[in-house]
Amino acid sequence: MSTETSTGTGTGTSTSARSAGGGPDGDVVEPWVALGTELLVDEEYVKAWVERVGPGERRPAHTHRHPWITVVVSGAAGESRTPDGELIAVGSAATGDVRFNGPDRLPFSHYLANTSQDTLVMVAVELRDPAARAHLPVPAHPHAHVSDEHPEHPEQPHAQPPSAKD
């Protein structure tokens, strides 16, 4: 899988914190709500939704606050950018890719832009475990590291869940 990365300033349109996941009164806006999609699974500790990004389309900015798994149903090439348009990474997601987006990058605010002629279809499965989250470090800057491991979120290396402590 080929991936180019960049952390330069993009030319994207500025997006308010509200559309990136904050509500009008500081309320939390869930990613699927910001994306305008329905939940496929709506359980206390698991949420799942489908995200479709057509050729040349850009999805709304949204913020992930919980670890999630991404399953690429139909691959494509694209860009991940901050809500303010700063380029995080450029890459491609192959059909069948499955990746864990760990707690070390949370919260993670971004939007996806499809730069290919193919429709990108992904299933996101959000994992909500309040007990585990209470012990996680908060990153100083969620976009600081760039890797070619995750085309949807190329800056996120393959992470392993935190190990249980005795």
- Give yes or no for a contact between 28 and 22, defined as CB atoms under 8 angstroms apart: yes
Domain boundaries, the chain: 4-133
- Give yes or no for a contact between 151 and 92, defined as CB atoms under 8 angstroms apart: yes
User: pTM for the whole thing?
Assistant: 0.66
Question: Per-residue pLDDT for the chain (166 aa), expressed as one digit of tens each?
Answer: 334 433 333 333 223 333 355 555 557 899 999 999 999 999 999 999 999 999 999 999 999 999 999 999 999 999 999 999 999 999 999 999 999 999 998 999 999 999 999 999 999 999 998 665 555 555 554 443 333 444 444 444 444 444 444 4
Residue 9: its pLDDT value, please? Answer: 31
Tell me the fold of 4-133: Jelly Rolls (2.60.120)
Residue 137: its pLDDT value, please? Answer: 53
Residue 129: its pLDDT value, please? Answer: 82
Residue 23: its pLDDT value, please? Answer: 55
What residues form DSSP beta bridges with 74? 121
What residues form DSSP beta bridges with 64? 108
What residues form DSSP beta bridges with 90? 4, 79
Residue 28: its pLDDT value, please? Answer: 84
Distance CA 158, CA 117 (A): 27
Residue 24: its pLDDT value, please? Answer: 52
Residue with tokens 């913020």: 63
Give helix then strand counts, H and E, for the chain: 2, 10
Residue 17: its pLDDT value, please? Answer: 32
Q: Is the dihedral of CA 64, 162, 42, 112 positive or negative?
A: positive
Residue 164: its pLDDT value, please? Answer: 45
